[in-house]
Amino acid sequence: MNMTVTPPAEPYLRVSATDKIYPSPHGEIVALSDINLDVQPGEFISIVGPSGCGKSTLMKCIAGLEDITSGSISVSGRPLAGPPDRMGVVFQRDVLLDWRTILDNVLLQAEFLGHSRAKYRDRAMQLLERFGLKGFENRHPWELSGGMRQRASICRALLCDPDLLLMDEPFGALDAMTRDDLNVELSRIWQGSNKTVIFITHSISEAVFLADRVVMMSRGPGRIVDVFDVDLPRPRPLSIRETEAFGVYAQRIRHHFAELGVIQE
């Protein structure tokens, strides 16, 4: 099993020997154990694993929302101190604000970052158009379907043109067809954007379909058990999932899940 990827000179994101331990009344809980991961600029990484494997914790650590117990995380060569610059995040729940219109929700990103709304208004409209939300900018979140809401939350994350996009099971709550749709859209938007994406999922096919590289995590303690490149041509149509090459990658992940006893092979 090839677990080491040739270390490149200057990774965009470097996680090294990172542990995250939570104290609890019943002793310590090791959420992350000895995580080592280098991510190249512009790379699309899928992190896949069963629930409880620490993948969301890892994302929160990279986002600067959680402190790590030991080890180090650096972005662009600088050790992390709080949330990195030029980062966008998307969660499983879209967390749009009900009292704001879709456009105002997207512009929230600029407001939080202390930029002027006026400067980003045109970009927000462009993003909404690219994600098929043209004409919905003045609607409220509750007037939109789950898929449209999640599209809006991706627009919000992309508004200030981040270098790093962190996505924590963003399509986990959507129905299968909407999910396929958004997989294709995300892939299309990402391609040629030069953005680094960390995409967390527990869907095997989603992980393979989107990624340049898949990171497989396991639980008890949360650790990386496998890393492999997905060498499939881009752009990838949905039908690529029926190809043999795709099947080999999916099988590799499924094998790990089976070893964990999460699924039966």
CA angle 115, 190, 177 (to 5 degrees): 110
Q: Of 61 and 214, which CB lies nearer to other proteins in the complex structure?
A: 61
Which residue, chain included where needed, has tokens 């919905």?
136
Can residue 146 be called a binding residue for other proteins (CB under 8 A)?
Answer: no
Q: Which of 111, 129, 161, 175 binds other proteins (CB under 8 A)?
A: 111
As a whole number of angstroms, the distance between CA 111 and CA 114 comes to 5
Which residue, chain included where needed, has tokens 């270098």?
163
Q: Of 48 and 159, which CB lies nearer to other proteins in the complex structure?
A: 159
CB atoms under 10 Å from CB of 180, counted, come to: 17
Strand partners, 11: none
Phi, psi of 104 (to 5 degrees): -65, -30
Smallest gap from Cβ 214 to other proteins, in A, equals: 24
As a whole number of angstroms, the distance between CA 193 and CA 203 comes to 24
As a whole number of angstroms, the distance between CA 45 and CA 190 comes to 12
Q: Of 143 and 229, which CB lies nearer to other proteins in the complex structure?
A: 143
Phi, psi of 119 (to 5 degrees): -65, -30
Can residue 135 be called a binding residue for other proteins (CB under 8 A)?
Answer: no
Can residue 196 be called a binding residue for other proteins (CB under 8 A)?
Answer: no
Smallest gap from Cβ 201 to other proteins, in A, equals: 17
Q: How many residues sit in the footprint of other proteins (CB under 8 A)?
A: 25
Q: Where are the alpha helices (DSSP H) in the chain?
A: 55-62, 102-112, 117-130, 146-158, 176-190, 204-210, 244-260
Residue 84, token pair as written in the block: 């990195």
Residues 6+ apart with CB under 8 A from 25: none
Can residue 81 be called a binding residue for other proteins (CB under 8 A)?
Answer: no
Can residue 108 be called a binding residue for other proteins (CB under 8 A)?
Answer: yes
Q: Which of 12, 91, 120, 136 binds other proteins (CB under 8 A)?
A: 91
Q: Which of 142, 239, 242, 265 binds other proteins (CB under 8 A)?
A: 142
Which residue, chain included where needed, has tokens 């008890």?
220
Phi, psi of 82 (to 5 degrees): 80, -175
Can residue 112 be called a binding residue for other proteins (CB under 8 A)?
Answer: yes
Site for other proteins in 47-66 (CB under 8 A): 60, 63-65
Q: Of 95 and 238, which CB lies nearer to other proteins in the complex structure?
A: 95
Smallest gap from Cβ 231 to other proteins, in A, equals: 32
Smallest gap from Cβ 182 to other proteins, in A, equals: 18
Q: Of 112 and 238, which CB lies nearer to other proteins in the complex structure?
A: 112
Smallest gap from Cβ 187 to other proteins, in A, equals: 23
- Provide the binding-site residues for other proteins, judged by CB under 8 A: 60, 63-65, 82-83, 87, 89, 91-93, 95, 97-99, 108-109, 111-114, 140, 142-143, 166
